A and B are shown apart, each in its own frame.
Chain A
């Protein structure tokens, strides 16, 4: 038989295709071979909210059959740690794994899915990392197509954080919660001053986890008695004063780690002065 005959289209091929593929004894896709001793381990890091995690697997069993499997679990807030979901493995090939988190915004719940040895054992060996990233309501992550992302890749969750009003005559403080990082986009608050005569001046402080002051941002104007001022701190803020409004600057792309604090110091604050409507617009990431 010549080479020419080897690649010619067979006469009995009704579809007239130049290539034909094997239908019997096809080699399976061996990239994620799962043994009987393995488990699929899902690590869920959802520091501040309860997240529903849906995991959809497509297995190919040893006899070639495709076996879809679906797992769903609600995971409570995990703070700076993570929760795990163990899925019993069986011998075969993991064709795909898809994860979604209905009701969760990207940036709030970080997932990794691994292939690990040991059915419920105490073995802490890390296995093969198949996927990691932020699934969301309408965006899934999936093996084998999704690259393994770190929690700080891409954009975080844009979030409005509300800080409770302090007692009258007191300043306020907000700590970055455990398990997340914040990129500060803006800080807003309202100060209503009492009739007590004094000139109040407001400074926003950022401290690191060790209590070191790393930024003091002064408001653009002072506030006298019996006035209501809106304070805004953001990157690019101009230091001019407006009617009943004061501004202060923030550094660009300023990421605060868990445990860092945002606070104000009001010089000459009076017993009847009241801070309220305290909110921070932040881009939030799951990170230490």
Chain B
């Protein structure tokens, strides 16, 4: 059936430019049509005790031509992430912007998609993904302009962990299972007991039961000493007073199949590791 002529068009102006544009019956951006049965789904992944809050803002072109902003604010209190569904109205999704209140940049990895059926559906169809990447308080993630990024794109989040210790036991260091970490610095103190023995602290990087790195700086620690150990990529093996330096490979990304251990020969039951600080660059890789 032929489309009836518009009531008014800019092309009706005889003194105007050669090219004129529609002002009525403009085609909507149909590639981003969201139906009544669709739901938006935000999946968030992070490593933040207490969780974090999100604001998702949509600009939706309704079927009647009105641009309607919609705001969804919610908190995911799980420390490692979660999923939130929210139903938009029927229309054309002009934009979707995601912010989080994660304190530091690149802490919170999110993906926003449209799926059929919403929360109650058992449909596991992933649907159309709108945006994926790290969203923060001042670094927004937005459809359609933000590229769909992998979790390992760009810099990660800067993290500093304090690690607990037990007398007479070596250290075992590893990040949460769903993260990938680049070790920047490991610092710890070893206080040796009065038991006479020579202690030598080695650092191992292990995966699947195999040693991939075995490193130390050659210092021998005797009874009743307090020595501070620093291990970092690009640092030369070196000793100055109580300070000791051990090199690590650079850059090496460690995922959940890897761990860093100290293996201390001659370790006494009363020897005590303390002040363990691990500084890493962390990516949320699932």
Closest residue of chain A to B232, judged by CB?
A251
B238 contact set on A, CB distance < 8 A: 218, 220, 239, 249
B20 touches A64 (CB 8 A): yes
A28 to B, closest residue via Cβ: B21
- Inter-chain contact count A-B, CB under 8 Å? 223
Closest to B142 in A: A129
Q: A122 near B: Cβ within 8 Å?
A: no
Say yes or no: B232 contacts A215, CB within 8 Å.
yes
B17 contacts A by Cβ under 8 Å: yes
- What's the dominant secondary structure at chain A's contact region? loop
- Whether the Cβ atoms of A212 and B277 lie closer than 8 Å is yes
Question: B234 and A252: CB pair below 8 A?
Answer: yes
Contact in complex: B154, A153 (CB < 8 Å)? yes
Q: Contacts A212-B160, A212-B162, A235-B234 given: A218-B26 contact, CB under 8 Å?
A: no
When the two chains form their complex, are residues A129 and B234 in contact, meaning their CB atoms are under 8 A apart?
no
Known contacts being A27-B26, A64-B21, A220-B240, is A250 close to B234, with CB within 8 Å? yes
Say which size band chain B's interface belongs to: 35 or more
User: B11 is contacted by which of A25, A27, A128, A218 (Cβ under 8 Å)?
Assistant: A25
CB distance from B269 to the nearest CB of A (A): 27
Contact A216 B243 (CB under 8 A): yes
- Chain A CB within 8 A of B257 CB: no
Q: Is B83 an interface residue (CB 8 A)?
A: no
Inter-chain contacts of A114 with B (CB < 8 A)? 97, 140
Q: Is B279 in contact with A214, judged by CB distance below 8 angstroms?
A: yes
The chain B residue with its CB closest to the CB of A65 is: B17
Taking CB atoms and an 8 Å cut-off, the chain B residues in 98-116 that contact chain A are 99, 103-106
Is the beta-carbon distance between A30 and B187 smaller than 8 angstroms? no
Query: Given contacts A112-B140, A127-B95, are A287 and B21 in contact (CB under 8 A)?
Result: no
A186 at the interface (CB under 8 A from B): no
Interface string of A235-277 (1 = CB under 8 A from B): 1111100000000011111111100000000010000000000
Q: Could you say which residues of chain A place their CB within 8 Å of the CB of B136?
A: 150, 288
**Does A161 make an interface contact (CB < 8 A)?**
no
Assess the A128–B134 pair: CB atoms within 8 A: no
- Report if B130 contacts A (CB, 8 A): no
Q: Is the CB of A218 within 8 A of B27?
A: no
Q: Is A88 an interface residue (CB 8 A)?
A: no
Chain A residues positioned under 8 Å from B236 (CB to CB): 236-239, 249
Hey, which chain B residues are within 8 Å of A257, CB to CB? 104, 158
Query: Which of A1-9, A140-148, A165-173 faces chain B?
Result: A140-148
Interface string of A34-54 (1 = CB under 8 A from B): 010010000101000000000
Q: Which of B55-63, B167-175, B218-226 contacts A (4 or more CB under 8 A)?
A: B55-63
CB contact list, B16-62 vs A, under 8 A: 16-23, 26-29, 55, 57, 59, 61
Closest residue of chain A to B231 (Cβ to Cβ) is A251
* A147 and B131 alpha carbons, distance in the complex (Å): 12
A183-208 to B contact mask, C-beta < 8 Å, 1/0: 00000000000000000010100101
- Chain B residues with CB below 8 A from A212, complex form: 160, 162, 277
- Chain B residues, CB < 8 A from A117: 59, 67, 69
Is B69 in contact with A127, judged by CB distance below 8 angstroms? Answer: yes
CB pair A27 B228 closer than 8 Å = no
| C-alpha spacing A33/B240, complex, angstroms | 65
B18 near A30 (CB under 8 angstroms)? Answer: no
Are A152's CB and B106's CB within 8 A?
Answer: yes
> Is B118 interfacial (CB-CB < 8 Å)?
no
Chain A residue nearest to B238 (CB atoms) is A239
- Residues from 4 to 40 in A contacting B, C-beta threshold 8 Å: 23-28, 30-33, 35, 38
Residues on B with C-beta less than 8 A from A162 are: none
Closest CB in chain B relative to A79 CB, distance in Å: 12
Given contacts A126-B57, A150-B154, contact A251 B138 (CB under 8 A): no
> In the complex, are the beta carbons of A215 and B22 less than 8 A apart?
no
CB–CB B61/A33 < 8 A: yes
Q: Which of A123-156 contact B (CB under 8 A)?
A: 125-132, 143-144, 147-148, 150-153
Residues of B within 8 A of A250 (CB): 232, 234-235
Which residues of B are in contact with A by a Cβ distance under 8 Å?
Answer: 6, 9-11, 13, 16-23, 26-29, 55, 57, 59, 61, 67, 69, 71, 94-95, 97, 99, 103-106, 133-134, 136-142, 144-147, 154-155, 158, 160, 162, 182, 184-185, 187, 228, 230, 232-238, 240-241, 243, 245, 250-251, 275, 277, 279, 281
Q: Residues of A at under 8 Å CB distance from B?
A: 23-28, 30-33, 35, 38, 43, 45, 60, 62-65, 82, 110, 112, 114-115, 117, 125-132, 143-144, 147-148, 150-153, 181, 201, 203, 206, 208, 212-220, 235-239, 249-257, 267, 287-288
A-B contact pairs, 14 of them (CB 8 A): A23-B18, A25-B10, A25-B11, A27-B27, A28-B26, A30-B27, A126-B97, A127-B69, A144-B145, A203-B240, A220-B238, A239-B236, A252-B251, A257-B158
Identify the 9 closest CB pairs spanning chains A and B, nearest first: A128-B95, A129-B142, A218-B240, A251-B232, A249-B235, A239-B238, A150-B139, A64-B21, A24-B11
Q: A31-B94, A45-B138 are in contact. List 8 more A-B contacts (CB 8 A).
A: A25-B11, A28-B26, A31-B144, A32-B94, A62-B23, A115-B95, A250-B232, A252-B234
